[in-house]
Amino acid sequence: MENYHLELNDVDEFIPELASEFGSDFSEHLGEFKLVIPENNGEGSIKGINFPNGIGLYTYRCKLKKDLGLQISQPFIKPIRFIYCVKGEVKSHFKNQEDVVNITDHQFLIAAPKDKETHSLIFNKDKDIVLCYLEIDRLKFQEYFSFDLHDLEPVFYKIFSDIQASNRISETGSYSLKTADAIKEIRNCELTGFPRINFIGAKALEVLSYMLARFKKDSQRFEQKDIKEKDRKAIEVAVEYIDTHISQTGTVNDLAKIAGVNTNKLQEGFQVIYGKTVNQYIRDVRLSKSLNMLSTGNKNVSEVVYELGLSSRSYFSKIFKAKYGVSPRKILSGKSTPGKPEK
């Protein structure tokens, strides 16, 4: 097997780096990259385009002469991939070949590596492969929301809020006929120039919508087995209280009393629904609200710290920079963008 390790610092580096590994050329027009598979490696092409909303669309149509492994690492981007196998098969695994998953015709894989993990895609030789996937930069995707992230339904909050890549995701299933039709329209699009870019951008969102609807349906079946309805309602009470009383949330015991459940039930519920502890959830709510307040420029760092119910400015600066990659002071001055390392 030929293995290519691609360490990417920017979303647009994938096809140029892969072309470099192949020792071949690539083309680019209006942000859409195309790599024709070199004859000594096989036949076909790989296309990719990254849109301003944080969604990247990649399509593979190839037949390889050798088994191929793509080992993708992205130190500054914490992506989640919605992978659709239209024809053939592809294997996926993370660091040290944990959780090897194989998907074939009309199956999907939702994959997200943990921080500092490599995500590997493996393609077998002599097989016609048609693959389409969406790669979402979760931080950039959040910036396009016209609402607070915490307004998302819990099942979506869990996967899109994890911009630290604290949790690995690997979920499989069969995608719908609507998804298949949308992917077919993307693959068969004969438009050129700007109309093409707009068309496939809209179709990428359509595919994502279908996928999220399916993911929600599957997740609801799973969660109903893990948490009782009365405990779910108690967690909703706790979440509402946290959101409206962030400066005075108190301890986990205090929240449990407000919600009407014991502390263990509250912690277990937050783990099932949000994939984090109560205190981790509170921290993320504070950080989300602080980013909004600092971005408007109407409050200084000390005022933000006070409104969030924190007593230490240094602690706030530490957790803020850990999540967003920049200091609160830099956001306030308007000189940095969250998610990009400070110079």
For 200-251, what is each residue's pLDDT tens digit? 999 999 999 988 887 777 665 544 445 677 887 888 889 889 988 988 888 9
Residue 222 phi, psi (nearest 5):
-70, -45
The confidence score (pLDDT) of residue 289 equals 85
Q: Write the CA distances from 343 to 104, 273, 291, 297, integer angstroms.
A: 44, 37, 20, 22
For 25-68, what is each residue's pLDDT tens digit? 999 999 999 999 999 999 999 999 999 999 999 999 999 999 99
The confidence score (pLDDT) of residue 221 equals 53
For 115-135, what is each residue's pLDDT tens digit? 889 999 999 999 999 999 999
Q: Which residue has the tokens 């630290």?
A: 164
Q: In whole angstroms, what is the distance from residue 49 CA to residue 33 CA?
A: 6
Q: In whole angstroms, what is the distance from residue 132 CA to residue 109 CA?
A: 11
Q: What is the DSSP string of 9-49?
A: SSGGGHHHHHHHHHT---EEETTEEEEEPPTTTEEEEEEEE
Q: At what angle do helices 229-244 and 252-259 cross, to 10 degrees?
A: 120
Q: What residue ranges define each of the domains in the chain, with the CATH number in brackets? A: 2-223 (2.60.120.10), 229-333 (1.10.10.60)
The percent of residues in the chain predicted with pLDDT above 90, rounded, is 49
Residue 180 phi, psi (nearest 5):
-60, -40
The confidence score (pLDDT) of residue 153 equals 82
